[in-house]
Amino acid sequence: MQQLPLDGIKVVDLTNVLAGPYCSYQLMLFGAEVVKVELPGAGDLARRLGPDPELNRELVGASFLAQNAGKKSVELDLKSPAGRKVFESMVADADVLLENFRAGVLARLGYGWDRLRALNPGLVYCAISGFGQSGPMSEAPAYDQIIQGLSGMMSVTGTPETAPLRVGFPICDTIGGLMAALAVSAALAGRQRTGAGSFLDLSMLEASLSAMGWTVSNYLISGMEPEPMGDQNATAAPSGTFETADGPLNIAANQQAQFETLCRLVGRPDLPADQRFAGREARKEHRAALNDELNQALRAKTALEWEELLSREGVPAARILTVPQALALDQVRERGFLADVPYPGGGGRRVTVTGNGVLIDGTALRPRDPAPLLGQHNAELGVAHERAG
């Protein structure tokens, strides 16, 4: 890999916490130079977020370290004449401007799309917000959990007895960041043909609804209102979590041949001949009875034994792991997904961060530098005065 796809692209990043920083982290991994513009003396709120109080006090909280490696940091007050002058110079020289303020905030500071486009006709300006820049909810505050609830995501997470439940990580922030990175990349590709920039108005609510896939499309197309099904897959059976000798096992025998292979391997070759289980729709209708039959057979071996046996025969199956166990998988390690970078400010310490699962010409994408200290690049980028003033 001689050159990364976004080498030479300059991103001015006004974002905070997760959705925006996750977007700019992806752009950085693909080669872009990302400069975080942070409030003097305070910086990104994520600098104070995480389980380690010492890191939070040092303004390098775990949440910040995870999403900001490889970026630069400057402190700018966009309400001060000096800060505005520097910001306008940065915008004029940038390829991308990224922000995740509440809708209209940047425009009220004097930097609406018309002004930004006048400063730089080729600028790709991406605004990430909970609901987009228009509509009756556009100025409402939104965090990940708010979007999870409004999107219907929580209503289908859990069982009928436990729903609604929040997904166990900030999935809507992540989806918003990924969609923003995709939109920015597409806009940059389009600019190569036209030379013109564009304004990308990204709604986390709409991006999340889009990402919910068949949960939404089954309702729109077939009128089937989704319901929480716990660990079961509404589109197929047997497809869900099953019991083994030592713990749970996910099995997704979604095709007829996979189902027949599963039954043979667990010692129940008779099940496909049972009219309750003979076809896909019949299995869905009699899901509970089928699961009972399979659970009895699967208790004969451990989850790992079944994972190896079933996978080898083409039936998708795997244990349910904890996060530490998942990160320790040889598969993850061998592909270079985890990267050790220096702790901000040096001192010999190291921090482990993730890549994004993409290999280019066989090489994993990873940060080149650690996450920046607040204002670390003020002098380099000509804004040292902002720290003092």
Which of the residues 77, 173, 292, 340 is marked catalytic? 173
Hey, is 90 helix, strand or coil? helix
Mention every residue, 6+ apart, whose C-beta is less than 8 A from residue 198: 124, 125, 187, 190, 191
| Nearest one of 367, 30, 336 to 182, comparing CA atoms | 30
Q: How far apart are CA 389 and CA 387, in angstroms?
A: 6
Hey, is 83 helix, strand or coil? helix
Largest CA distance in the chain: 79
For residue 203, the cross-strand partners are: 129
* Catalytic residue status for 173: yes
Q: What is the DSSP string of 257-301?
A: HHHHHHHHHTT-TTGGGSTTTSSHHHHHHTHHHHHHHHHHHHTTS
Mention every residue, 6+ apart, whose C-beta is less than 8 A from residue 298: 242, 243, 244, 249, 266, 306
Ramachandran category for residue 252: left, alpha or beta (phi over 0 → left; psi -120 to 50 → alpha)? beta
Catalytic residues: 173
